[in-house]
Amino acid sequence: MSSVYDFTVKDRQGNDVCLDTYKGKVLLIVNTATGCGFTPHYEPLEAMYKEMREQGFEILDFPCNQFANQAPGSDDEIHEFCTVKFGTEFPQFAKIDVNGDNADPLFAYLASVKPFDGFGKGLKNAALNKFAKANNKAFGDKTYIGWNFTKFLIDREGNVIARFEPTVDMNEVKAAVKAAL
């Protein structure tokens, strides 16, 4: 695989969606959860989407329940939560695994191009690192994503150009998206 366009994922209804549908757009691919301390990231994500989608920006949302069971609902329940609480309009796909033997190939690929490099410095980040290590121990060498709301920025040619851990300030994410547009 040489770009994200080579992957096919499932939409919320279980239909195949080839990511080449998004050729020519700047993408932010995110694994999400509805009961996470980072769930409020939906608000700035939706604001970015509304502001920049006309310029060719898409957010692809992949719910994941592998981090302390923070996305336990069905695909429909998760979608309803996001649209009602945060007014999200960007595409949301079927719930997936991002780590372990059943990890979605897209996320394994994204993490192979931009591997996890820690959550950063500071007390909050150190605490998350400790919690994530304990949570992800079962995945061993197939731990691709450290926690919910990891974001991958993809350029218009389908190349992975940046990875943002959930601890990265959303203003930094927004600036990188604007630069990619």
CATH number, domain containing residue 119:
3.40.30.10
* Candidate from 55-64, 89-98, 135-144, 146-155 with smallest mean pLDDT: 135-144
Residues whose CB is less than 8 angstroms from the CB of residue 157 and which lie 6 or more positions away in sequence, other chains included: 3
Nearest partner of 153 among 144, 141, 162, 164, judged by Cα? 162
pTM: 0.94
Query: Is the CB of residue 100 less than 8 Å from the CB of residue 142?
Result: yes
Tokens for 173, please give them: 């994410």
∠ Cα 18 24 25 (to 5°): 85
Query: Is the CB of residue 25 less than 8 Å from the CB of residue 158?
Result: no
Percent of the chain with pLDDT over 70: 99
Does residue 36 carry a catalytic annotation? Answer: yes
Q: Which of 18, 36, 64, 82 is catalytic?
A: 36
**Domains identified in the chain, total number:** 1
Q: What is the pLDDT of residues 127-176, one digit of tens each?
A: 788 878 888 888 888 889 999 999 999 999 999 999 999 999 999 999 99
- Rounded Cα distance between 175 and 109, Å, is 24
- The secondary structure of residue 96, as a DSSP letter, is B
Query: Is the CB of residue 63 less than 8 Å from the CB of residue 149?
Result: no
Print the domain residue range for 28: 4-180
